[in-house]
A and B are shown apart, each in its own frame.
Chain A
Amino acid sequence: MSILRFELSADQEFFRETTDRFLTENAPMAELRRLRDDPVGFRDDYWVRGGDLGWTSVLVSEDLGGGTIGGLGLVDLTLVAHEFGRHAAPGPLAATNVVAATLGEVGTEAQTALLKDLLAGQSIATWCFAEPPPNGGLGAVALDVRLDLEEVVLNGVKRPVESAGQADHLLVTGRTDTGLTQVLVPRATPGISVTPMHTVDLTRRFSVVSFDNVRLPATAVVGEVGQAELQVERQLQRAIVVVNAEAVGAMQAAFDMTVEWAFDRYSFGRPLASYQALKHRFADMKAWLEASHGINDEAAEAVALGSPDAAELVSAAKAFIGQFGGELLQDCVQLHGGIGVTFEHDLHLLLRRHTVNRALYGTPADHRQRLTDLIEQQEHAA
């Protein structure tokens, strides 16, 4: 049995269940296999119908057309993300929500006007954050934003950027000489080139996005010039909570599938589930799974409430779920035997989703380093 958060309200359960039902009907695993060569990774109406279900609304306030289900929008979003993970569902869930939240919080009137289409699923926006080496470290930003009278000029490269090929707008995190600065860029702006990348996920699409003297009016800046550090940190925390919730959903589905397999598969006249050597591995996996649920639920709540320990919990969740979730999924493959590494079996769809999310927004090792930095900062503050 899949135990999500224990204290879901009836409204939250309805919210989760409608997405579960929708994905079961519209994104079955067989359909995901068909989409592997599709340049977009999902059908046009899929994201619009997801918009109707509230996939992109919960981080935006009611007066801007959004609204939470249970009071904490990010916690609501983890319910959808968990289902995305269980179904290995297509669609730029983390990226679009992160951009919507930021536009709602610090966007100009012209920028918040874009939320209507974004929330309805009619338009897609994505976040350009990570950069290639030598600026590939977590949080390293070198993309140059230069102020030129009433204009800003962008130069640099971002990768991987999710759904850049489908996005109408890009939220670009760059740097002026005074600090981090974010700019909302229409993708069709001259000077932008989008090059598709290869990836392990069947339906997620990533690109390299290059900015070569991309020139925009200064009104394209989101928030204050040079003052975006806190907002970028918030974006990072939100994105991680969402990809973690997906990763935990993928772990849950793979675990449930493998437990069922252990009962149904007989060897030497007994079910696999009767062998103590295997039972003990299931016990370890169960502990990792419950621990992953626990830490990400706690991180989601801390980020939603803006608690002082949010950064620490988020990094612990990312480090743990990445490392132990990877072990869990590979152990599920091992317990399936040869069938577990075939394209025909569903297991790899979940393994793919977890694998991609593990490496996005900082690897487990990146987050372990970040945790040590945070402990040192706490020590100095004390």
Chain B
Amino acid sequence: MSVDELDELEDVEAFRHRAQVWIHQNLPPVGPLNIALGAVLSDEDELASVARDRQLQRMFFDAGLAGICMPREYGGQGLTLAHQEALNEELAGYEYPMRLQVPTFTPCASVLLDFGTDEQKRRHIPAILKGEEIWMQVLSEPSGGSDVAAALTTAVRDGDEWILNGSKVWTTGAWWSDWGLCLARTNWDVPKHRGLTVFMLPIHREGVEVHRIEMLNGNREFCQEYLTDVRVPDGDRIGEVNDGWTVGTRWMFHERMLYNSPLVTVPTGTTRGGDGGASLLDIARDAGRLQDPVARDLIGEARTMDLVDDALRQRISQGIVTGATSDQASAVVRLFGGSVSARRTTIAFELAGGAGAAWTDDDGEAAERGSDFLMRQISCIGGGTTEMARNVISERVLGMPRELSLDRDVAFRDVPRSPSST
């Protein structure tokens, strides 16, 4: 292939055909997929599933189907959103490396691409594309969920290294991940946004202790880390010292984009509900309610919301890519998607009827819907709460006045952090 041919963008339909042929030859068909948070798997199954995802990612890489919209110099394909969408469409109904999409590709790899040095990108992006590195967000802290800029985890410079101390929480699958993006405080004597720095952190380094959190439904995918004198070389710093909020702002944007990001591969038609991918028809049928007009109204409502959610994702994604709307509009997708998912979970529970309260092994898809319902709000909490999304939409998209903040021009050290500190 000549240099000229290389520089010419592959035609979308030719790309689609290439993807289609490869998918049919290499990937097993699977049922409708679901990427809900909080499914319950045994550790053994979870590790096997992670290993399989790494293997699949490597297959995508070798086939030239990994990192569709990532630059070629870092192992990506250098193609466009249209190519990514074509791949997503062709993947519908086939196995794909689900666990590597979020948070590895977005927000982590996205942030690396935005702010990493050339050396950092060469070191990590190809490894991510090959499934060798799984990343996570070392962001939230026990002391504050939505107020991420109030991080207490501290990094102190020591020659060419930084020493990190503190605790981080809500990291998904930290126990089987490799690297994390970590937001830490590097200056306590300036207002909170101006004293933060972002680091790349290997999860299994000395001084990092990973504890697993049990969720109310038995899920143990979330973790809490305790960082004790963890040493990170200055070369693993992302962005400038004390300029972590510039990085953080893009980080939040990429997080809100989630499955809407052009860097993420997700088969078209993948559901995001909490019902484990069970079809609502199956739930109603197994509950003996398929001919009940009330049940049929609910099924139609859920289908409406799914189709509208997809259409909204496409619209906002296109608006952001073309520059017709600001990046902040990703909060609209986040708010709507979270609300739709919660509603869908309620509908599944409602369709299950009495089996929502108590079920037997013979209840088919009507079983377990009560457990899903208990976890319903996770879609409106994880990845930034819907309340924060509403603030972003009203303030950043509609331009309404910002909420009064008492920590804006105060050295972070002097900001009240509990009733006793006022």
Contact = CB atoms under 8 A, between A and B. Distances in A.
- A and B: partners? yes
Given A279-B395, A284-B335, A290-B316, A372 B401 contact: no
A216 interface: no
Nearest to B389: A283
Interface in B329-383: 329, 331-332, 335-336, 339
Given A279-B400, A291-B311, A371 B304 contact: yes
A375 B308 contact: no
Contacts of B331: 283
A372 B397 CA distance: 35
A6 interface: yes
A7 to B, nearest CB: 7
Interface stretch (B157-165, B238-246, B248-256, B319-327): B319-327
Interface stretch (A86-94, A122-130, A217-225, A293-301): A293-301
Contacts of A369: 293, 296-297, 300
Interface residues of B, number: 42
Contacts of B297: 365, 368-369, 372
A313 interface: yes
SS class, residues of chain A in contact with chain B? helix
- Chain A CB count within 10 A is highest, among B281, B304, B318, B336, for B304
A282 B398 contact: yes
B236 to A, nearest CB: 37
Interface in B397-411: 397-398, 400-401, 403
Given A262-B400, A273-B401, A316-B308, A287 B394 contact: no
B393 interface: yes
B304 A290 contact: no
Contacts, number: 133
Contacts of B314: 294, 298
B387 interface: yes
Contacts of B303: 312, 316, 368, 371-372, 375
A6 B301 contact: no
Interface of chain B: mostly helix, strand, loop or mixed: helix
A293 to B, nearest CB: 6
A276 B400 CA distance: 10
A274 interface: yes
A284 B392 CA distance: 12
Contacts of B319: 3, 6
The size bracket of the interface on A is: 35 or more
Contact of B307 (A262, A279, A280, A316): A316
Contact of A371 (B300, B329, B395, B401): B300
A284 B390 contact: yes
Nearest to B321: A6
Given A6-B322, A368-B304, 20 more contacts: A3-B325, A6-B318, A7-B318, A259-B398, A262-B400, A273-B398, A279-B391, A280-B394, A282-B393, A282-B394, A284-B335, A284-B390, A291-B308, A291-B312, A295-B308, A298-B311, A312-B303, A368-B299, A370-B300, A372-B303
24 contacts: A3-B325, A262-B400, A273-B394, A273-B398, A279-B391, A280-B387, A280-B391, A283-B331, A283-B389, A284-B335, A286-B332, A287-B312, A290-B336, A291-B308, A293-B315, A294-B308, A295-B311, A312-B307, A320-B304, A368-B301, A368-B304, A369-B293, A371-B299, A372-B281
